[in-house]
């Protein structure tokens, strides 16, 4: 029998034990039908389509767990395109039928994941509470009287109630984090630009981020790594430059003085204080800091010209369909008409001035630990005062994208009565996404909150996140071991995970080897060659797994030092020169993945 929460470890174990994706889909269908919250989904994937997707997956990849997310069911916030399902952004009159998946959905599906439905949201992703939708208000899995958090409300509830292994949300002001806190989940908010937004209905295009709700930090990071990567079709997409943090002796910034605002909720304040003590017990140095410039930056998102981006996203539709908007959403978006181009520049100047003020704070800490939300409210309380109460939720979240930060929201425990959960966030400078993850995972485990609505669930050891720098060994992979490729499972099965995408320096040539199954390339260094480099990935393996892996590499492949275009040298796959004689040179494609796509467009 499957556990209540469908974490990756449990599902992979079920598959290894003989369950099929169709078996899991039948369980999801049954759970979805039995759900007591009718507002989770806007468009559930029809049952027959789900069954067909499961069958197609086993035809495409018959071996269990042979893809990174083989047979993993997930839900998608309904402002993110999924081919075959309408995108509504929680506004029926706005609905359209996308012809293709959003980039992130396409990457997840290629990795073997199965979309179980489109989830409810605050209309046009405008809100942090989950009550601004004509499709109803999804509720906290712990008390139906309380909000679920928004705007990614349905996505969080789908995971927390055991309907999906993970779900996609979006985050402009905190929408990928607040619902995680209210439903005892992890919320992964990547650095802006790390994950592409192509195929996403924007809220504020310049600061929107696609996020992940997951039961554990390890699951969330693994899923984010499948989604991330530069996409030239997204004007705000960026190539990551991973930032490092110390392996020990972390300095964590915490709130002090008048900036500690919980709007009278002493229960959440107590849980925040308890989280600080857990961080201290885990070896962190606690550094009180002045939150003022961060708060002032946060205020710009709704009380500054950035609200005009919300109008830019829907201005044509608003001009003809204003009556189709939720009244609160319409009031917020129409408020953008008060701003002009001068205001936009002045807002930018103000933000950059505040960014300068935050630099001195970052010099003293490695990352911040903040309450995810300082309080929560019932649906009735929220609807009675929707603007003010909603703003309370964003006090500590709104600045993160404006100031180019990564964040991971984690559970922090339940109130004294054991009734409602609260959470904390780790927030770091750009591209500290991976560097923060081990401490976030340790904090989640120390809190002993379970996962989602299952408060007794033990976090799987297999999902533990550790720093590769501690004892993992990096290795460069070139072909069949890349993410989404046929042999990638040989890395993931032994606890390896991807550190980053990379490129060799310009002295490497790539060839398609003859007679290899599955097809493999050969990477050869030619000191006299000058190209544009070859796309590769750097993975990290446990030492024993690395030794076993290297020992079993078949000739003519072997390992040696590969020079990357940033000047670093990493052990990786190389090929004996004689083996490429007569083989097809494919250097012009820039990498193995591009070559496979060219020769097998459906791959």
Of the candidates 78, 135, 143, 81, the residue with the CA atom closest to the CA atom of residue 108: 81
113 has a pLDDT exceeding 70 = yes
Catalytic residue among 66, 151, 152, 153: 151
Of the candidates 120, 125, 19, the residue with the CA atom closest to the CA atom of residue 73: 19
SS3 content of the chain, % helix, strand, coil (to 5): 35, 20, 40
Dist CA 187 CA 203 (whole Å): 19
Confidence of residue 170 (pLDDT cuts 50, 70, 90): very high
12 has a pLDDT exceeding 90 = yes
Q: 469-599: which CATH number, 3.30.70.890, 3.40.50.150, 3.10.490.10, 3.40.50.1820?
A: 3.10.490.10
Q: What is the pLDDT of residue 601?
A: 65
Dist CA 317 CA 325 (whole Å): 10
358 φ/ψ angles, rounded to the nearest 5 degrees? -75, -20
Same fold, 8-246+365-463 and 469-599: no
For 376-386, write each residue's pLDDT tens digit.
999 999 999 99
For 400-438, write each residue's pLDDT tens digit.
999 999 999 999 999 999 999 999 999 999 999 999 999
398 has a pLDDT exceeding 90 = yes
Q: What is the pLDDT of residue 49?
A: 98
Sheet holding 473-477: strands in order across?
Answer: 497-503, 535-541, 473-477, 569-575, 557-563
For 506-548, write each residue's pLDDT tens digit.
999 999 998 888 999 999 999 999 999 999 998 888 888 888 8
470 has a pLDDT exceeding 70 = no
For 196-228, write each residue's pLDDT tens digit.
999 999 999 999 999 999 999 999 999 999 999
Please report which helix (H) or strand (E) contains residue 422, including its range. strand 421-428
Dist CA 401 CA 355 (whole Å): 12
Q: What is the pLDDT of residue 409?
A: 98
For 247-305, write each residue's pLDDT tens digit.
668 999 999 999 999 999 999 999 999 999 999 999 999 999 999 999 999 999 988 99
Provide DSSP, 199-254.
Answer: TB--SSTTT-EEEEEESSHHHHHHHHHHH-S--TTSTT-----PPP--SS--EEEE
Q: What is the pLDDT of residue 247?
A: 63
Confidence of residue 18 (pLDDT cuts 50, 70, 90): very high
Tell me the CA end-to-end span of the chain in Å, nearest whole number. 34
CA angle centred on 200, ends 196 and 202, rounded to 5°? 105
Q: What is the pLDDT of residue 166?
A: 98
Dist CA 116 CA 158 (whole Å): 10
225: annotated active-site residue: no
Dist CA 465 CA 196 (whole Å): 24
Q: What is the pTM of this model?
A: 0.81
Dist CA 496 CA 19 (whole Å): 24
Is the CB of residue 87 less than 8 Å from the CB of residue 79?
yes
Confidence of residue 107 (pLDDT cuts 50, 70, 90): very high
Catalytic residue among 66, 140, 152, 175: 175
Q: What is the pLDDT of residue 156?
A: 98
Tokens coding 86: 């309408």
What does DSSP assign to residue 412? E
What is the percentage of the chain residues whose pLDDT exceeds 70? Answer: 98
373: annotated active-site residue: no
Kindly list the domain boundaries of the chain, sorted by start residue. Answer: 8-246+365-463, 469-599
Crossing angle for the helix pair 327-334 and 307-321, to the nearest 10 degrees? 120
SS3 42: strand
| Nearest-10 Cα torsion for 592, 594, 597, 598 | -110
Radius of gyration, CA atoms only, the chain:
24
In CATH, the number for domain 8-246+365-463 is 3.90.1300.10
Catalytic residue among 66, 77, 237, 389: 77
What is the percentage of the chain residues whose pLDDT exceeds 90? Answer: 83
SS3 73: strand
151: annotated active-site residue: yes
For 292-350, write each residue's pLDDT tens digit.
999 999 999 988 999 999 999 999 999 999 999 999 999 999 999 999 999 999 999 99
Q: What is the pLDDT of residue 223?
A: 96
Is the CB of residue 186 less than 8 Å from the CB of residue 220?
yes
Mean pLDDT of the chain: 94
Dist CA 103 CA 105 (whole Å): 6
For 142-155, write each residue's pLDDT tens digit.
999 999 999 999 99
Q: What is the pLDDT of residue 191?
A: 98
SS3 528: coil
Please report which helix (H) or strand (E) contains residue 541, including its range. strand 535-541
């Amino acid at each position: 029998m499957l556990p209540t929460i469908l974490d990756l470890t449990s599902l992979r174990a079920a598959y290894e034990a003989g369950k099929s994706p169709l078996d899991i889909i039948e369980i999801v269908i049954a759970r979805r039908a039995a759900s007591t919250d009718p507002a989770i989904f806007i468009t559930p994937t029809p049952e027959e389509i789900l069954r067909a997707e499961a069958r197609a997956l086993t035809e495409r990849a018959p071996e269990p767990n042979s893809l990174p997310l083989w047979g993993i069911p997930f839900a998608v916030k309904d402002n993110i395109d999924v081919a075959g399902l309408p995108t509504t952004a929680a506004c029926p009159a706005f609905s359209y039928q996308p012809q293709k998946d959003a980039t992130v959905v396409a990457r997840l599906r290629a990795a073997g994941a199965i979309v179980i439905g489109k989830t409810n949201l605050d209309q046009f992703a405008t809100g942090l509470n989950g009550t601004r939708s004509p499709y109803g208000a999804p509720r906290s899995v712990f008390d139906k009287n309380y909000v679920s958090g928004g705007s990614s409300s349905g996505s969080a509830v789908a995971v927390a109630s055991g309907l999906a292994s993970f779900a996609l949300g979006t985050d402009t002001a905190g929408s990928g984090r607040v619902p995680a806190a209210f439903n005892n989940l992890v919320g992964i908010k990547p650095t802006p630009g790390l994950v592409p937004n192509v195929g996403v209905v924007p809220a504020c295009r310049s600061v929107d981020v696609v996020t992940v709700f997951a039961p554990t930090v390890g699951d969330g990071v693994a899923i984010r790594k499948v989604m991330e990567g530069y996409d030239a079709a997204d004007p705000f997409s960026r190539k990551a430059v991973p930032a490092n943090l110390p392996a020990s002796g972390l300095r964590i910034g915490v709130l002090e003085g008048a900036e500690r605002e919980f709007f009278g909720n002493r229960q959440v304040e107590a849980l925040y204080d308890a989280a600080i003590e857990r961080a201290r017990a885990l070896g962190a140095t606690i550094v009180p800091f002045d939150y003022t410039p961060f708060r002032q930056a946060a205020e710009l998102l709704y009380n500054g010209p950035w609200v005009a981006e919300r109008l830019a996203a829907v201005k044509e539709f608003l001009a003809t369909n204003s009556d189709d908007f939720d009244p609160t959403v319409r009031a917020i978006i129409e408020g953008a008409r008060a701003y002009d181009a001068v205001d936009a520049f002045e807002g930018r100047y103000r933000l950059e001035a505040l960014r300068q003020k935050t630099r001195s704070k970052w010099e003293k800490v490695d990352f911040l630990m903040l309450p995810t939300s300082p309080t929560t409210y019932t649906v009735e309380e929220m609807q009675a005062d929707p603007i003010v109460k909603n703003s309370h939720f964003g006090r500590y979240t709104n600045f993160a994208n404006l100031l180019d930060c990564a964040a991971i929201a984690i559970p922090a425990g339940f109130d004294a009565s054991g009734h409602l959960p609260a959470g904390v966030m780790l927030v770091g400078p750009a591209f500290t996404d991976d560097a923060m993850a081990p401490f976030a995972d340790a904090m989640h485990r120390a809190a002993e909150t379970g996962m989602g609505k299952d408060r007794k669930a033990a976090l799987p050891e297999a999902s533990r996140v550790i720093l590769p720098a501690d004892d993992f060994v990096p290795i460069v992979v070139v072909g069949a071991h890349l993410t989404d490729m046929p042999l990638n499972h040989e890395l993931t099965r032994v606890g390896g995970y991807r550190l980053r995408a990379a490129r060799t320096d310009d002295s490497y040539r790539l060839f398609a080897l003859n007679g290899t199954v599955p097809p493999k390339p050969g990477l050869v260094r030619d000191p006299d060659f000058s190209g544009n480099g070859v796309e590769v990935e750097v993975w990290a393996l446990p030492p024993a797994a690395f030794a076993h892996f290297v020992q079993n590499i078949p000739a003519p492949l072997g390992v040696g030092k590969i020079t990357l275009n940033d000047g670093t040298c990493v052990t990786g796959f190389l090929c004996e020169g004689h083996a490429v004689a007569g083989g097809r040179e494919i250097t012009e494609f820039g990498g193995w993945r591009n070559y496979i796509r060219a020769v097998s467009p459906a791959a």
